[in-house]
Amino acid sequence: MIEIEKLQKRFGRLEVLKSLDLSIPRGGIHAVLGPNGSGKTTLIKSILGMVVPDAGSIRIAGEPVVGEWKYRDNISYLPQIAHFPANLTVRELIRMIRDLRARPARDEALIRHFRIEPFLDKRLGHLSGGTRQKVNLVLAFMFEADLVLLDEPTSGLDPVSIVRLRELLAREREAGRTIIVTTHIMSLAEEIADEVIFVLEGRIHFQGTLTEIRNRTGQATLETAIAAILSEHQPSA
C-alpha cells in the first residue's frame, strides 16, 4: 500500500531520514519502533505531507503523494501531541471535525467505547491528559479510512482505556484497514503487531514479523530483541 524510496530529510544540520526505503503492504498492524530521535514521527509526517522530504518518493496505492493533498481524505491520523482549542467543549470539537470532513462518522459508538459521555459538555482545557487522549482517539477513528496513522496512541491512557484501544485495533484489523502505530510500549507492539519496523538514526534496521525478529536476534521477547539490535549499532567503548 505504501512504497517509500530513498527518503531524505534534514532539519538544519540534523539529518533525520537518511535515504530511507520502506514498503508496507495493505492491511494489518505495522508497529514502528525506535528510540527518541530515530525519525519515526518525521516518517509519519512525511507520509501525511506535513513534512516535505528533501529527496526521495512516497507512493500510496501506486500514486505519488508529495505535493498532493486529496489522498489524505482516506487517511486518519492521531498525533503524538494534540493541541485542541481550550474553550471548545468535547461535543463541539467532535461536531466541528465531523462537519469539516463531511463523511459518514461513527463518533457515537466510539464515545461509548471510550466512556467519555460524562465529558461531552466539558471544555477541552479543563480535561486531564488521559481524557484528552481518549477524545483524540475518537477523532482518529471517527471515519472509516483505509489507512490509519497512530503516533504514540497510549500516551496518558489508563490501563482500562489501553485494553479498549487494543480491542478497537483488533476490530479495525479485521475490517482490513492498514494501521501504522509508533509506540515505546513493547508489550503493546508484541500483542497487536503483524509486523515490526525498527527505525534507528533515520534508517530501517529491521522489518518483519515478531517471529522473524526473535529468530534473527535469538531473543525470546520483542523488548530484548530490540535491545539486541540496538547493541549491534552502538559504538564500542
Mean pLDDT, the chain, whole residue set: 92
Could you give the CA distance from residue 206 to residue 97 in angstroms, rounded to a whole number?
37
Residue 90 pLDDT: 96
Give the pLDDT band (50/70/90) at residue 219: very high
H or E element at residue 113: helix 107-113
Kindly state whether residue 225 falls inside one of the protein's structural domains: yes
Contact 192, 170 (CB under 8 A): yes
Could you give the CA distance from residue 59 to residue 64 in angstroms, rounded to a whole number?
4
Look at the chain and report how many structural domains it folds into. Answer: 1
Cell numbers standing for residue 85: 482549542
Residue 236 pLDDT: 52
Backbone angles phi, psi at 90, to 5 degrees: -60, -45
Could you give the CA distance from residue 192 to residue 204 in angstroms, rounded to a whole number?
20
Contact 188, 154 (CB under 8 A): yes
Q: What is the mean pLDDT of residues 201-209?
A: 94
Kindly state whether residue 207 falls inside one of the protein's structural domains: yes
Kindly state whether residue 187 falls inside one of the protein's structural domains: yes
Could you give the CA distance from residue 125 to residue 131 in angstroms, rounded to a whole number?
11
- Give yes or no for residue 234 having a pLDDT over 80: no
Give the pLDDT band (50/70/90) at residue 103: confident
142-191 per-position pLDDT tens digit: 999 999 999 999 999 999 999 999 999 999 999 999 999 999 888 889 99
Kindly state whether residue 13 falls inside one of the protein's structural domains: yes
Kindly state whether residue 109 falls inside one of the protein's structural domains: yes
Give percent above pLDDT 70 in the chain.
98
Residue 84 pLDDT: 86
User: Residue 139: which CATH number?
Assistant: 3.40.50.300
39-87 per-position pLDDT tens digit: 999 999 999 999 999 999 999 988 888 888 888 888 999 998 778 889 9
Cell numbers standing for residue 55: 529527496
Residue 83 pLDDT: 84
Q: What is the mean pLDDT of residues 85-96?
A: 94
Kindly state whether residue 149 falls inside one of the protein's structural domains: yes
Residues in the chain, overall count: 237
The residue segments making up the domain with residue 9 are 2-232
Kindly state whether residue 237 falls inside one of the protein's structural domains: no
Q: Which residues of 157-193 are buried (b: 16+ CB within 10 A; e: fewer)?
A: beeebeebbeebbeebbeeebbbbbbbebbebbbebb
Backbone angles phi, psi at 159, to 5 degrees: -55, -40
Q: What is the chain's alpha carbon radius of gyration, rounded to the nearest angstrom?
A: 18
pTM: 0.92
Could you give the CA distance from residue 93 to residue 86 in angstroms, rounded to a whole number?
10
Kindly state whether residue 133 falls inside one of the protein's structural domains: yes
Q: How far is CA 188 from CA 1, 162, 167, in A?
A: 23, 9, 12
Residue 145 pLDDT: 92
